Structure 1
Amino acid sequence: MAKYIQSDAKDFAALSQFVTPYEAQGRTASAALLIWFLEVLFRLDETEAQDAVCDKKHDAGVDAIVVSDSSKEITVFQAKRKEKIPGTLGDTDLKSFVGALAQFKSRSSVLKLIATTKNDELKKLLEEGDVADKIGNGYKIRPIFVCNVAANVDASDYLAQAEAAGHLIELWDLKRLGPLLKQLSKDWFLDEEVKLKVDADHLFYFGAKTSPKLVYTAIRAQELVSLPGIDDSRIFAQNVRLGLGRTRVNKDIIQSVVDKGEHENFLTFHNGLTVVAKDIKVRGSTITLSGLSVCNGCQSLLSFYENRKALTPKLEVLVRIVKVGSDRKLPEVIAYRTNNQNAISLRDLNSNDSAQLRLKNEFDSLYGAYSEYTIKRGEVVATAELKNEDAGRMILALYLGEPTSAHQKYRIFGDLEARIFSIDMNASRVRFAQLLTTEIYSLRSKIKEERIGKYGLTIFILLYLVGCILKESAAGNEFLKNPSPFLLSSQNAKAPQRRLLESLKAIIDHAIVELNYYVKEHGGDSYNYKSEFKSLKAVEALRNAVVKAYEKDIHNGRAQQFALPQ
């Protein structure tokens, strides 16, 4: 029977197109697929996703590890990516994965893996994640297998056998990813028209009843699980993240679903769902939705769906439905804001801070024609956006000389906030950091080790190195303190910004060339950039090598000292 299962050619090509930006020289094709998965579906940021992957030899059958203290889970990933089709996933790779999971059976087995592995990245993930002790303290292993082809019958049969033996493998093959890929490749709304039955006295709406702008209603979970696109994730295209019913919150939801005595009280403690639709019509007790998507509540809806046999008419869910028409920006804002309910971020708490208000007003009045400084999530801008969190990371690297902490976003408005956004930090200094970062992005393809060039922290390392070179000259120090006269603004339309950036490109080029030599001299392909770029000692050594080489080039006439443009 296995030979009759085929991988969809269009889905295969679409997935390849999505994953291509994550490919890099020295990075395996499977690692690129997994990094895409971790960013897009598992919702890790760029640096977190790359740090989670151990894309070197001797990985002991483990391609990535993510530790979640909130759900007390350790997710172990393996990915396989085939170069072409026809081809399917059989049971061989899955058996290998199950064999690798034996290494996570106990605290002692993890300690043995740490002691014997030849993969430094895997060892670092295990040690820094405190995986051995956490398994000893009861953390569960969550195995996920990702592949770019469809699983055949042999694979399906083996997954059933593995589950019976206690290994519940969550498989994301091309068949499961396919509908989502189609949705991501086009509109983010379902094509189907959907009718939902509600009790008329459980309905509240804004606007005309025939076509309201906003609806609040209580809907039976039995009605919700009949929505199309739940099983293949299409309905969650605007909330693309795993919703597999295994987090601590989801376990509480499932417990409430299974316990029928809690059904009538479910409305009192559940936050409900948020649905966006292109159009809403209400007639009697029927709500008709055209072009809908669930942008918050996918975890709950999947929990209902997977336990639908336990549902009763008493279990109702609060549902908020928002009419968005053809506006693509509004659904994104709604999806983003409604999916950040767990905790108000430090950025949110500081959005009305006097330092942030001062910087925003100053930045937007001077540079608003080119870029806008945003201090709150979901702000709509007319030009390029500079988030204050990103600005803080740039300031940390360029002006404070601490790029090794730039990946720790939680610290920008935490313990580092007072130093980053001090009274000395003004809009022109922030704007220059933004411009310099943009130039570095445009030149990072010159980094020979492509994995390093695409690493999230590398930009901040280069920003730091360029800043160190500028600080070696009196002109550079003067400029860094007050770049305002040289930047285009509402008050300075004739500033020599173009000449300034051209001169800085030469310094960026030098920093990249020396970084390439440094990496080559310190292991080349085996250079542990993930660790080195977070080490103060290692980055200081890199800085000394780059600045020393620059001073030699100036002495030998191969480079010019930075000078202020005239």
Structure 2
Amino acid sequence: MPDSAYDLLTDEVAPFRVGTRTMSAAMLAWFLTTVWRLEPEDLAEAICDGGGDKGIDALVVDDDLAEITIFQGKWRETAVKTQGDNDLRSLVGAADYFASAAAVDGLLAAKPNAELRNLLVRQEVHRKIEDGSHLVRLVFVTNAHLDAAGADFVAARKTAEPELDVWDRDRLAYVADRARRAELRPETVRLTAVTTPTTVSLTAEEQLSVAVVPAQQLVDALPGISDYTLFSRNVRLFAGRTRINKDLRETVRKADEHELFPAYHNGLTILTERLAVEGSVLTLDRVGVVNGCQSLVTLFENSKVLTDKLLVLVKVVEVHDDSSVADKITFRSNNQNPVTMRDQRSSDVVMRDLQKSVRAQYGSTFALRTRVGENIAADRILDNTEAAQLIMAAYLREPWAAVRKVRLFDQDYRRIFNRSITPSKLYLVDLIDSVSSTERARLRDDLRSSFASIRFTLVHLITQVLRETELGTDFIETPENWLPDLEGEVRAALTSIAEEVVDSVNFYVGEQEQERGSEFDPKVVFKSQSGVTGLEYDVLRQSRRQAKRDATILFNIPSQTTARDSD
């Protein structure tokens, strides 16, 4: 009998099965990306699934939240297989490795696989456990249903330490399905405001009520907070590990700030298909929160410290399934994201000038996007965040800094988008990035699965090889003399260079592993200056050696100007 939830998860996880990843590891990759909100470049570093993993399939150390989270994933190949308690017990047992600094040393002495060993050392887990600064959490992820033994074990550990958080098939499927089907929860909810709500008619069929409601009541009455189904109309789920959410959590935990909470908090927006107001009681048939997910989840996770004085401003909007009002409210609410430095820069003179210059030069063939949600009609679109990363790698020659997104539009903004950056250079870095991405399949399996962390290093290395010839150097500095008219020839030349670079990278990593063993972590190479420097030296050495035998492997395409002069 078909199982729609099982099939849905299979479809969602499939794109994450790259390189040597098993389906269990791919499911964890999907989970860490979709639910845990890890950056793509951090994803591969967190997963340590494989032989010698000591029951630890992934490990995430969050210094902002002071948490060490141990993950285990179990993928069932058929929909009928269930999840028992043996794997759950194994995960709980793995927590013993983090009970003390000595236990962490014991884990290292037990010779775990290189992924786990490097992760423990890199994240300084020994020190953080010794200091007592970090709490240990357990998260079990499975595409199966829990059987009776599994459910009983989870229930028995409900109040035990460390906390065990189980994500089974139904809970995962809710997350996977949220983008495809924006439905309201079917329950009827009653909320009692502290004063009589204000109610106004929006249209002939829709109305709005504004009320102030105790936070504890919202947490108790609203369904679907823990599995995020209450937020099915949101574009994103709980963002989790952000500075704003950390500050909110600290505020909720301070009882002396509860009285002022409704004064400086923006409140919640709840949609319902039928709203009835009688006195101070609001009755909602079918519910969904479209603004306030971060706040409500934070309140839910800290429900033990809520007091009667912590009140929340709530807007309840009555809508209908076929109403355009519901779509507008959902869209507008989900676009009220916190202002970032990138947002603030989106309309400054540098971005305005670059965007207009690109449009003037390339029309609808190539465009620069400077704002979130900006609708642009063009064959190729380069987002300005990616543009900043590519410029950092290719022109500033600092690929290890390209992944530090926070700095790109803050400390490094003027360095990156300096006056030498032209529309042609944006066109070029986008082209190099496109070529290097097509060569991903040639990388070693482990590097292919962590491509997000190697991506900008490849762009840097290709650009450095281009600089090995005078024509290549001219090409980098004045790409308008080649592009877009000679793009076919240029792409072929770049592809040839990229192939040689990838082969050299594969060889370098293999050689380092033989020489240094488990002390060498290839993922770190692409995030540190010293690592990239050593890799670059080897790649250029190999490139020069190859060029002595065949000079055509380097960039030697005459520009249009050179060709005209020779004629």
TM bracket, shorter-chain basis: 0.7 to 0.9
Aligned letter for 1:403?
A: P
| Change in 2 beyond 3 A, CA 1:169/1:193 | closer
In the TM superposition, 1:59-458 aligns within 5 A as: 59-114=53-108, 116-135=110-129, 136-184=131-179, 186-190=180-184, 192=186, 202-203=197-198, 208=203, 210-211=205-206, 217-218=211-212, 222=217, 226-227=221-222, 229-230=224-225, 232-237=227-232, 238=234, 239-241=236-238, 266-275=261-270, 292-300=288-296, 303=299, 315-319=311-315, 325=324, 331=330, 334-335=333-334, 337-338=336-337, 340=338, 344-383=339-378, 384-449=380-445, 451-452=447-448, 454-458=450-454
Superposition deviation, residue 169 in structure 1: 0.2
Whether 1:557 aligns to 2:556 is no
Superposition deviation, residue 354 in structure 1: 3.4
Partners in 2 of 1:228 and 1:164 — Cα distance?
Answer: 21
Superposition deviation, residue 31 in structure 1: 1.9
| Change in 2 beyond 3 A, CA 1:160/1:59 | same
Q: Give the match for residue 484 of structure 1.
A: 480
Is the Cα–Cα contact under 8 Å of residues 114 and 127 in structure 1 kept in the other structure? Answer: no
Q: Secondary structure at the match of 1:169?
A: strand
| Change in 2 beyond 3 A, CA 1:351/1:330 | farther
Superposition deviation, residue 220 in structure 1: 6.0
Q: Give the match for residue 492 of structure 1.
A: none
Q: Give the match for residue 528 of structure 1.
A: 521
Q: Secondary structure at the match of 1:138?
A: coil
Q: Secondary structure at the match of 1:74?
A: strand
Is the Cα–Cα contact under 8 Å of residues 447 and 454 in structure 2 kept in the other structure? Answer: no
Partners in 1 of 2:154 and 2:283 — Cα distance?
Answer: 40
| Change in 2 beyond 3 A, CA 1:242/1:467 | closer
- Count of aligned pairs between the two proteins: 542
Superposition deviation, residue 433 in structure 1: 0.5
Q: Secondary structure at the match of 2:324?
A: coil
Is the Cα–Cα contact under 8 Å of residues 514 and 546 in structure 1 kept in the other structure? Answer: yes
Residues 422-475 of structure 1: CA distance to partner in whole angstroms, max 9, x if unpaired? 221222111211122122223322224254354202221211121011101111
Partners in 2 of 1:299 and 1:469 — Cα distance?
Answer: 49
Worse-superposed segment, 461-470 or 539-548: 539-548
Residues 157-177 of structure 1: CA distance to partner in whole angstroms, max 9, x if unpaired? 222333454332011111322
Worse-superposed segment, 156-165 or 401-410: 156-165
Partners in 1 of 2:429 and 2:54 — Cα distance?
Answer: 42
Superposition deviation, residue 476 in structure 1: 0.9
Superposition deviation, residue 80 in structure 1: 1.9
Is the Cα–Cα contact under 8 Å of residues 19 and 32 in structure 1 kept in the other structure? Answer: yes
Aligned letter for 2:324?
A: G
Q: Secondary structure at the match of 1:271?
A: coil
Superposition deviation, residue 295 in structure 1: 4.5
Residues 13-32 of structure 1: CA distance to partner in whole angstroms, max 9, x if unpaired? 21121111111232233221
Superposition deviation, residue 56 in structure 1: 4.4
| Change in 2 beyond 3 A, CA 1:372/1:337 | farther
Q: Secondary structure at the match of 1:424?
A: coil
Q: Secondary structure at the match of 1:507?
A: helix
Percent identity, aligned pairs only? 26
| Change in 2 beyond 3 A, CA 1:243/1:512 | closer
Q: Give the match for residue 36 of structure 1.
A: 30
Aligned letter for 1:93?
A: D
Superposition deviation, residue 101 in structure 1: 0.6
Aligned letter for 1:469?
A: V
| Change in 2 beyond 3 A, CA 1:453/1:229 | closer
Whether 1:548 aligns to 2:541 is yes
Partners in 1 of 2:542 and 2:529 — Cα distance?
Answer: 20
Partners in 2 of 1:129 and 1:169 — Cα distance?
Answer: 22
Partners in 1 of 2:525 and 2:76 — Cα distance?
Answer: 32
Whether 1:516 aligns to 2:506 is yes
Q: Give the match for residue 4 of structure 2.
A: 10
Superposition deviation, residue 291 in structure 1: 8.4
Aligned letter for 2:342?
A: R
Partners in 2 of 1:454 and 1:151 — Cα distance?
Answer: 31
Superposition deviation, residue 322 in structure 1: 10
Partners in 2 of 1:329 and 1:449 — Cα distance?
Answer: 44
Superposition deviation, residue 253 in structure 1: 7.3
Q: Secondary structure at the match of 1:150?
A: coil
Superposition deviation, residue 84 in structure 1: 2.8
Partners in 2 of 1:312 and 1:69 — Cα distance?
Answer: 31
Aligned letter for 1:319?
A: K
Whether 1:47 aligns to 2:41 is yes
Partners in 1 of 2:418 and 2:318 — Cα distance?
Answer: 41
Aligned letter for 1:404?
A: W
Whether 1:23 aligns to 2:17 is yes
Is the Cα–Cα contact under 8 Å of residues 190 and 283 in structure 2 kept in the other structure? Answer: yes
Partners in 1 of 2:426 and 2:354 — Cα distance?
Answer: 9
Q: Secondary structure at the match of 2:346?
A: coil
Is the Cα–Cα contact under 8 Å of residues 46 and 60 in structure 2 kept in the other structure? Answer: yes
Aligned letter for 2:443?
A: I
Is the Cα–Cα contact under 8 Å of residues 9 and 85 in structure 1 kept in the other structure? Answer: yes
| Change in 2 beyond 3 A, CA 1:314/1:354 | closer
| Change in 2 beyond 3 A, CA 1:290/1:533 | same
Residues 146-199 of structure 1: CA distance to partner in whole angstroms, max 9, x if unpaired? 112111221222223334543320111113223333434x32233749787787
Whether 1:501 aligns to 2:491 is yes
Structure 1: gaps spanning 5 or more residues? 1-6, 489-494
Structure 2: gaps spanning 5 or more residues? 561-567
| Change in 2 beyond 3 A, CA 1:360/1:284 | farther
Partners in 2 of 1:253 and 1:322 — Cα distance?
Answer: 31
Partners in 2 of 1:196 and 1:373 — Cα distance?
Answer: 48
Aligned letter for 1:502?
A: A
Is the Cα–Cα contact under 8 Å of residues 20 and 449 in structure 2 kept in the other structure? Answer: no
TM-score, normalised by the number of residues in structure 2: 0.81
Q: Secondary structure at the match of 1:373?
A: strand
Is the Cα–Cα contact under 8 Å of residues 238 and 297 in structure 2 kept in the other structure? Answer: no
Residues 47-99 of structure 1: CA distance to partner in whole angstroms, max 9, x if unpaired? 12222222343223222222233322222222222333421211111111111
| Change in 2 beyond 3 A, CA 1:201/1:499 | farther
Q: Secondary structure at the match of 1:418?
A: helix
| Change in 2 beyond 3 A, CA 1:352/1:276 | farther
Partners in 2 of 1:429 and 1:455 — Cα distance?
Answer: 23
Partners in 2 of 1:322 and 1:39 — Cα distance?
Answer: 33
Q: Secondary structure at the match of 1:499?
A: helix
Aligned letter for 1:498?
A: G
TM-score, normalised by the number of residues in structure 1: 0.82
Is the Cα–Cα contact under 8 Å of residues 236 and 298 in structure 1 kept in the other structure? Answer: no
Q: Secondary structure at the match of 2:531?
A: helix
Is the Cα–Cα contact under 8 Å of residues 363 and 372 in structure 1 kept in the other structure? Answer: yes
Worse-superposed segment, 125-134 or 224-233: 224-233
| Change in 2 beyond 3 A, CA 1:454/1:264 | closer
